[in-house]
DNA sequence: CATAAATCTAACGTTTACGTTAAGGTTATT
DNA sequence: AATAACCTTAACGTAAACGTTAGATTTATG
C-alpha cells in the first residue's frame, strides 16, 4: 500500500502556484491571514494544496475588492468563525451563548455583503460610463466612414 | 445685467465639498489628475464646480475599483482624449489619422472595459460566497431554535 | 558526504499616497 | 492699515505592503 502522503509543498512551489512571492507568503502568515503550515524537523515550512487555494483567494479578493490586508483579515476570519462554531457544535451546553455567537457572525457577514454590493454598484456605474464613451467614439468613426467618398 | 461670474471656489471649499484634503487636491493637480485651476493675481487657486465633480468621481472610482493613482491617470485621460478629439473635429484634414486616433481610443476603452468586467465578476463571486456563508449560519440558528423546547 | 540549491530569521530599504510642519505671501475683516 | 484667517511652496514624516540583502541553517543531488 502506497503511503498516502499529500505530498507537502515547499514555499517556492506555493509561490509559483499562487503567484505571490515567498516574502509575501511568509508575511501573510505573520499577519495570521493564512494558517501556519507544518514544519519539517529542520524548520522548513511544509504546505498543503489548501494553502495555495487560500492564497489565491486572498490575492484575487485583494485585487478585486481593493481591501487592505486588515480588511482581508476580518473577512478571512468569518470562515474560521463559522468553522470554529461547527467544531464545538455538539456540546450544546449554552444555547443562548451559541445563538448570540451566530447572530454576531451573521451581522458581520451582512456588513460585508453591504460593502460588496455597494462596490458592485459603483463599478457598474463606471462600466456604464465606459460604454457611453465607447459609443461616442464609435459614432465618431461612423461619421468618418460616411464622409469617406466625398473628398 | 448682473455679472454672471460662476463664483470661484477656494481650495477649502473644494475640500469640504469633495471630502478630500487640501493636500490631496494639490497633489492630484501635480499628478495631472485634475485640470489646473485658474489663479488669482496673488497666486491663489480659484476652482469651479467642475473641479469638485471630477474630484468626487476620482475619489469614488479609486475606492470602488481599487485603482492606483497611476491607473486613474490612464482612465481620466480617456475622457480628455475624446474631448480633445472633438475639439479639432472640424478640420478634417487627415481622415486616416483621425480614424487611427479613434481606433486607438476605442482600444483603450475596451481594455478598461475588460478590466472592469473582470472586477465585476470577481466581486460577484465574493458576494456568492458571502451569501453561502450567511445561509450556513442561519441554518445553524434554525437548528438551535428547533431544539429549544427539549432541554 | 561534500557541495550546491533552497530555506530560515532579522533587519533595513522602497514605493505609494498622502500627512504635517515651516516660513512666508495673500485675502478678508475690523 | 493692522490683524486674523487662509493660501502658497518646499521639505520632511509616515503607514501599508511588501522588496532586498545578509548570514546562518537545511535539504537535495551528484
Sorting pLDDT into bands at 50, 70 and 90, what band is B71?
confident
DSSP chain B: -------PBPHHHHHHHHS--HHHHHHHHHHTSSPPPEE-TTS-EEB-HHHHHHHHHHHHHHHHH---HHHHHHHHHHHHHHHHHHHT-S--S-HHHHHHHHHHHHHHHHHHHHHHHHHHHHHHHHHHHHHHHHHHHHHHHHHHHHTTS--
B55, B14 Cβ separation under 8 angstroms = yes
Query: Is the C-beta of residue B23 closer than 7 Å to nucleic acid chain C?
Result: yes
CA distance A102 to chain B (A): 6
Query: Is the C-beta of residue A68 closer than 7 Å to nucleic acid chain D?
Result: yes
pLDDT in tens, B25-61: 999 999 999 999 999 999 999 999 999 999 998 998 8
Looking at chain B, the whole-number percentage of residues with pLDDT higher than 90 is 41
Residues 14-73, chain B, touching A (beta carbon < 8 A): 60-61, 63-66
CA distance A85 to chain B (A): 9
Measured between beta carbons, which residues in chain A are less than 8 angstroms from residue B114? Answer: none
pLDDT at A50: 94
Q: Which of B63, B102, B137 sits opposite A140 (nearest CB)?
A: B102
CB of A105 within 8 Å of any CB in chain B? yes
Q: CA–CA separation, B60 vs A23, rounded Å?
A: 32
Query: Is the C-beta of residue A30 closer than 7 Å to nucleic acid chain C?
Result: no
Q: CA–CA separation, A141 vs B65, rounded Å?
A: 29
**Helix crossing, A11-18 with A49-65: angle to 10°?**
40
> What burial class does residue B123 get, using C-beta atoms within 10 Å of its C-beta: 0-12 exposed, 13-18 middle, 19+ buried?
buried
Question: Is A144's CB within 8 Å of B95's CB?
Answer: yes
Identify the bridge partners of residue B46 per DSSP, sorted by sequence position: B38
**Helix crossing, B95-146 with B69-87: angle to 10°?**
140
Is pLDDT larger for residue A51 or for residue A111?
A: A51
Measured between beta carbons, which residues in chain B are less than 8 angstroms from residue A64? Answer: 66, 119, 122-123, 126
CA distance A137 to chain B (A): 6
Q: CA–CA separation, B15 vs B20, rounded Å?
A: 5
CA distance A11 to chain B (A): 26
- Residue identified by cell 434554525 is B142
pLDDT at B3: 39
When the pLDDT of each residue in chain B is averaged and rounded to a whole number, the result is 85
Does ipTM top 0.85? no
- Domains observed in chain B: 11-123 (1.10.1660.10)
Query: What is the enclosing helix (H) or strand (E) of A127?
Result: helix A95-146
Q: CA–CA separation, B46 vs B134, rounded Å?
A: 50
When the pLDDT of each residue in chain A is averaged and rounded to a whole number, the result is 85
Neighbour tally for A61: CB within 10 Å: 20
Name every residue whose Cβ is closer than 8 Å to that of residue B79 and which is 6 or more positions away in sequence.
Answer: A133
Question: Is A148's CB within 8 Å of B95's CB?
Answer: yes
Which nucleotide lies nearest residue A25, CA to C1'?
D18
A1-15, A28-42, A53-67: least confident range: A1-15
Distance of CA A26 to the CA centre of its chain: 17
A84, B142 Cβ separation under 8 angstroms = no
CB of A133 within 8 Å of any CB in chain B? yes
CB of B103 within 8 Å of any CB in chain A? yes
Query: What is the enclosing helix (H) or strand (E) of A4?
Result: none
Grid cell, residue A94, equals 449554552
Grid cell, residue A151, equals 473628398
Amino acid at each position: 500500500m502506497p503511503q498516502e502522503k499529500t505530498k507537502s509543498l515547499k514555499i517556492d512551489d506555493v509561490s509559483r502556484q499562487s503567484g505571490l512571492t515567498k516574502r509575501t507568503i511568509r508575511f501573510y502568515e505573520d499577519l495570521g491571514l493564512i494558517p501556519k503550515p507544518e514544519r519539517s524537523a529542520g524548520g522548513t515550512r511544509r504546505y498543503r494544496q489548501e494553502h495555495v487555494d487560500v492564497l489565491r483567494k486572498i490575492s484575487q479578493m485583494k485585487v478585486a475588492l481593493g481591501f487592505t490586508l486588515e480588511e482581508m483579515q476580518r473577512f478571512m476570519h468569518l470562515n474560521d468563525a463559522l468553522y470554529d462554531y461547527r467544531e464545538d457544535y455538539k456540546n450544546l451546553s449554552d444555547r443562548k451563548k451559541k445563538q448570540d455567537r451566530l447572530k454576531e457572525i451573521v451581522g458581520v457577514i451582512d456588513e460585508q455583503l453591504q460593502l460588496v454590493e455597494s462596490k458592485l454598484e459603483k463599478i457598474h456605474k463606471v462600466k456604464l460610463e465606459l460604454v457611453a464613451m465607447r459609443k461616442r467614439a464609435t459614432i465618431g468613426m461612423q461619421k468618418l466612414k460616411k464622409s469617406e467618398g466625398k473628398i
